[in-house]
């Protein structure tokens, strides 16, 4: 299994010396999965329960429900709060995974796509002013940058933290991301901090909402009948996720050290990624070029040095464009997307690879 199998930007045979991402699968991880397979328990079971308990303990006081994906977790967060099939309005940032739209629509709600802030790439609370009543906000901590939860809190009855890119991080006040909103969602997709292939975790602060989530997550819960979907996580996947969760602190330290090393290597004319704050765990390391031409020069330079660098996402993937909304209403996202250069930063990156990336960064052209 490699993350690159799931990443169409890196087709087989086009491997750079330093890929953009790759999973860290240790002997402990392999032993944990083998043990799960030998146990004969393949469906959701004791290892899934142990993973939920580990999250509930770390993010206390929160109830934890393991799910089949981050998308499923977001959908269930809305359903758990009673918003399912109500058409409720849910704000999402335009710079984000299309899973945000999928989850809102799958829950029978209505997305309101909002522009982002230049510094953090997170939903800009000021852009919500005067846009009408709102039922929920999905606050993505993009690339690990904490969303402005205190500004968002009063704007909607339900605040969902999307922690798919921020596992283990804290905001500027030292609060653990995932413990501030009413609900929080994590993804265990192959390129995430916990890379179990697929899977996720949903945290809930409220017991009643949590019970509601369980009913929707598990078709085996048959006390009452409601139409629902199977959102369970299997035990071998949970075993892999739990093994990785146990070394989370080491992994986050490695990511933080890599970001610091890259920043130290930058030449004077290149600013470090904006928005990096103490306590946050860098999920990506994204430089901002002055314009599209410089973005191209930087990507070409890094690739020539054997370092996989990407423009992150094409403008057509911005969520407002996916919905056919006018680009002029999203000036910040439109501007930023053509200037971003993402540099490899992941848990499995070796010291040799980090050295190669840092050396390439030092030589970035004007
Ligand atoms: C910010 C964000 N939200 C949601 C998701 C969806 O997670 P999943 O792929 O596990 O459904 C992802 C990642 O894929 C993500 O990066």
8: in domain: no
Which residue among 216, 245, 274 closes a domain? 245
Residue among 164, 166, 281 to mutate when testing ligand 1 (max atoms within 8 A of CB): 164
Could you tell me if 143 and 193 lie in one domain?
Answer: yes
Kindly state whether residue 123 falls inside one of the protein's structural domains. yes
pLDDT at 3 over 70: no
- For residue 8, the model assigns a pLDDT of 40
pLDDT at residue 157 in the model? 96
- Does residue 144 sit in the same domain as residue 283? no
Considering only CA atoms, which residue is closest to atom 1 of ligand 1?
A: 164
β-pairing verdict for 340-343 and 285-288 = antiparallel
Same domain for 108 and 169, yes or no, is yes
User: With bands split at pLDDT 50, 70 and 90, how would you rate the model's confidence at 15?
Assistant: low
User: What is the bridge-based pairing of β-strands 200-204 and 63-67?
Assistant: antiparallel
Q: Are residues 341 and 239 in the same domain?
A: no
Q: Ligand 1 centre and the CA of 359: distance in Å?
A: 31
Band of the pLDDT at 45, cuts 50, 70, 90?
Answer: very high
For residue 14, tell me if it sits in a domain: no
pLDDT of residue 16: 65
Residues 133 and 116 in one domain: yes
Q: Is the CB of 167 under 6 A from ligand 1?
A: no
Helix (H) or strand (E) holding 262: helix 248-265
Q: Is 287 left (phi over 0), alpha (psi -120 to 50) or beta?
A: beta
pLDDT at 351 over 80: yes
Q: Mutate which of 70, 186, 199 to test ligand 1's pocket (most atoms within 8 Å of Cβ)?
A: 70
Sign of CA dihedral 303, 281, 65, 241: positive
- Whether 6 maps to a domain, the answer reads no
- Structural domain span for residue 52: 27-245
Residues, the chain: 366
- For ligand 1, say whether the CB of 96 is within 6 Å of any of its atoms: yes
Six token digits for residue 152? 């968002």
Inside any domain, residue 10: no
Question: Residues 63, 186: one domain?
Answer: yes
Q: 10 pLDDT exceeds 50?
A: no
Domain final position from 245, 260, 278: 245
Whether residue 161 is predicted with pLDDT greater than 50 in this model: the reply is yes
Question: Are 53 and 201 spatial neighbours (Cβ–Cβ below 8 Å)?
Answer: no
- Residue to substitute in 97, 138, 200, 284 for testing ligand 1 pocket (most ligand atoms within 8 angstroms of CB): 97
Tens-place pLDDT, residues 309-339? 999 889 999 999 999 999 999 999 999 998 9
Please state, in angstroms and as integers, the Cα–Cα distance from residue 138 to each residue in 102, 185, 209, following that order. 13, 10, 17
CB of residue 210 inside a 6 A radius of ligand 1: no
Pair (214, 325) in one structural domain:
no
239 and 278, same domain (yes or no): no
| Burial (0-12, 13-18, 19+ Cβ within 10 Å), 272 | middle
Ligand 1 pocket member 283 (CB < 6 A): no
Do 202 and 66 reside in the same domain of the chain? yes
Average pLDDT for the chain? 93
Q: Is residue 184 part of a domain?
A: yes
What is the structure's pLDDT at 195? 95
Whether ligand 1 lies within 6 angstroms of the CB of 70 is answered as: yes
- Before 61, cis peptide (omega within 30)? yes
- Ligand 1 centroid–CA 268 distance in Å is 35
What pLDDT, on the 0 to 100 scale, is given for residue 278? Answer: 79
7, part of any domain: no
In 50-148, the DSSP E strands lie at 63-67, 89-93, 110-114, 136-140
User: Is the four-CA dihedral 253, 256, 260, 262 of positive or negative sign?
Assistant: positive
**212, 245, 278 - which closes a domain:** 245
The token duo for 140 is 């993505």
Element (H, E) at 27: helix 27-39
- Determine the pLDDT at residue 192: 95
The residues, ordered by sequence, that sit 6+ positions from 352 with a Cβ below 8 Å of its Cβ are none
Domain-located, residue 349: yes
On whether the CB atoms of residues 226 and 79 are closer than 8 A, the answer is no
Domains: count for the chain: 2
């Amino acid at each position: 299994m490699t993350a690159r199998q799931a990443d169409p930007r890196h087709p087989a045979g086009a491997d750079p010396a330093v890929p953009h991402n790759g999973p860290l699968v240790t002997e402990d991880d392999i032993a944990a999965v083998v043990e799960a397979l030998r146990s004969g328990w393949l469906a959701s079971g004791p290892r899934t329960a142990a993973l939920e308990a580990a999250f509930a303990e770390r993010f206390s006081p929160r109830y934890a429900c393991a799910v089949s994906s981050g998308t499923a977790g977001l959908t269930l967060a809305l359903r758990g709060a009673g918003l399912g099939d109500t058409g409720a309005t849910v704000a999402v940032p335009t710079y984000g995974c299309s899973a945000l739209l999928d989850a809102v629509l799958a829950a029978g709600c209505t997305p309101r796509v909002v522009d982002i802030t230049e510094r953090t790439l997170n939903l800009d609370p000021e852009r919500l002013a005067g846009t009408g009543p709102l039922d929920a906000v999905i606050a993505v901590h993009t690339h690990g940058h904490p969303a402005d939860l205190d500004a968002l809190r009063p704007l909607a009855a339900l605040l969902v933290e999307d922690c798919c890119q921020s596992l283990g991080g804290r905001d500027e006040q030292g609060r653990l991301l995932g413990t501030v909103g009413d609900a929080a969602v994590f993804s265990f997709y192959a390129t995430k901090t916990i890379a179990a292939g697929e899977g996720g975790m949903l945290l809930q602060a409220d017991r009643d909402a949590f019970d509601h989530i369980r009913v929707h997550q598990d078709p085996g819960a048959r006390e009452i009948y409601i139409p629902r979907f199977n959102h369970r996580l299997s035990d071998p996947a949970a075993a892999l996720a739990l093994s990785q969760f146990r070394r989370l602190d080491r992994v986050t330290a490695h990511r933080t050290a890599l970001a610091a090393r890259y920043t130290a290597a930058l030449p004077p004319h290149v600013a470090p990624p904006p928005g990096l704050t103490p306590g946050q765990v860098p999920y990506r390391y994204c430089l901002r070029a002055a314009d599209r031409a410089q973005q191209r020069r930087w990507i070409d330079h890094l690739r020539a040095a054997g370092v996989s660098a990407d423009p992150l996402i094409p403008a057509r993937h911005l969520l407002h464009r996916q919905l056919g909304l006018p680009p002029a209403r999203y000036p910040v996202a439109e501007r930023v997307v053509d200037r971003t250069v993402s540099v490899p930063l992941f848990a499995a990156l070796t010291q040799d690879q980090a050295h190669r990336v840092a050396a390439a960064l030092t030589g970035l052209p004007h």
